[in-house]
Amino acid sequence: MKLYEAIEIIVNDFGKEIISNDRVMNMFSDYNAFEESKTFKIILKNLINEGYMEQLLYVRDWSNSQDRIINNFISATSFNEANASYVIKSLAYALGYIKTAPIYQPSAGPSQPSSPSNSNSSQSKSQSPSPANKPSGHSVSLDKTSSQYDRLSEDSKRKYKEAAEKYLEGVVEFKSDFEKDLGVKISSYVQFDQFANIIPIFELDGKIKVDYDFSLMFYVLLYDQNDRMMVKKDIYVGQKRGSYEVVQTLFDPSEYHIVNNIKRILVYWEKA
């Protein structure tokens, strides 16, 4: 089911105020609202927790409020623009603010662009772009330090962020076969936030089947253009024992300096 269809049914059955209530998340799952992308679940949770749902309920003039609400949310959270915009417009459609149903158009890229519905879910190894690190379709050179990035105009920051996320998602490689080893499908996307932090995010769909005492450890490694490891991070996984989990780590600019330095992001797991 499309996201906007599920929201429309829920709003019609339970009233529009239900969308600002935490329990609506279970309803979304019941109506298979996340078939297009499980990232929508994270975005919707954030909209509720940060009070954006309350704003949406009391919008008087959507045409004048739409861009402000979407841009404020994206700036505050660093979610991919295509995903966040689609979720918010789906809510607007279900609330009757717009008459045309939105169309989900995820950004092109070898892996999920800031949301996990693309090819990384199959854990295929991505091909690394050339050392120039200019992803196809982008003219942005990813050579800014964090201080240089901070001095860019808002429009230039947005373009740089989108180019960085698309490139970084294209160089994520999975050393482990997560579906075979753990019984889960793993999807990944990468956020490049307003402070130039690189945030790899992983969604685990399915209950981990391997025996373990407390949790598993994911390792995320950055390699430079000479294929030397720059930094290694670990993430504890599986503590919730559920059938769906989202985990992430963070690399600050001091650990990679500029995006151009990164050749690949390697991910594997071990028992903790």
pLDDT in tens, 95-145: 999 999 999 886 533 333 333 334 343 443 333 344 444 444 446 899 999
- The pLDDT assigned to 100 comes to 93
Q: Which residues pair with 186 in a beta bridge?
A: 204
What is the CB neighbour count within 10 angstroms for residue 268?
Answer: 16
Q: How far is residue 247's CA from residue 249's CA, in Å, rounded to a whole number?
A: 7
Helix (H) or strand (E) holding 224: strand 216-224
Residues of the chain above pLDDT 90, percent: 34
Q: Is the pLDDT of residue 45 over 90?
A: no
- The pLDDT assigned to 135 comes to 45
Residue type at 184?
V
Q: Is the pLDDT of residue 49 over 70?
A: yes
Give me the torsion for CA of 71, 73, 74, 75, rounded to 10°. 80
- Who contacts 183 (Cβ-Cβ below 8 Å, separation ≥6)? 206, 207, 208, 209, 210
- In this structure, is the dihedral angle defined by the CA atoms of residues 25, 188, 108 and 75, taken in order, positive or negative? positive
- The pLDDT assigned to 109 comes to 38
Band the pLDDT of 68: cuts 50, 70, 90: confident
Token pair 């407390």 is found at 214
- The pLDDT assigned to 145 comes to 93
For residues 182 and 210, the answer to whether their CB atoms sit within 8 Å is yes
* Half-sphere exposure (Cβ direction) of 76: Cα atoms closer than 13 Å: 14
Q: Which residue has the higher pLDDT, 10 or 187?
A: 10
* DSSP codes joined into one string, 25-79: HHHHHHTTTTSS-THHHHHHHHHHHTTHHHHHHT-S-HHHHHHHHHHHHHHHH--
Q: Is the pLDDT of residue 223 over 50?
A: yes
Q: Is the pLDDT of residue 33 over 60?
A: yes
CA 124 to chain centroid = 18
Band the pLDDT of 187: cuts 50, 70, 90: confident
Q: How far is residue 209's CA from residue 86's CA, in Å, rounded to a whole number?
A: 34
For residues 172 and 200, the answer to whether their CB atoms sit within 8 Å is yes
- The pLDDT assigned to 148 comes to 93
What is the CB neighbour count within 10 angstroms for residue 21?
Answer: 12
* Half-sphere exposure (Cβ direction) of 21: Cα atoms closer than 13 Å: 12
- The pLDDT assigned to 107 comes to 52
- The pLDDT assigned to 137 comes to 41
- Segment 233-256 shows an average pLDDT of 83
- In this structure, is the dihedral angle defined by the CA atoms of residues 49, 201, 190 and 170, taken in order, positive or negative? negative
For residues 107 and 166, the answer to whether their CB atoms sit within 8 Å is yes
Average pLDDT, the chain: 82
Q: How far is residue 186's CA from residue 123's CA, in Å, rounded to a whole number?
A: 7
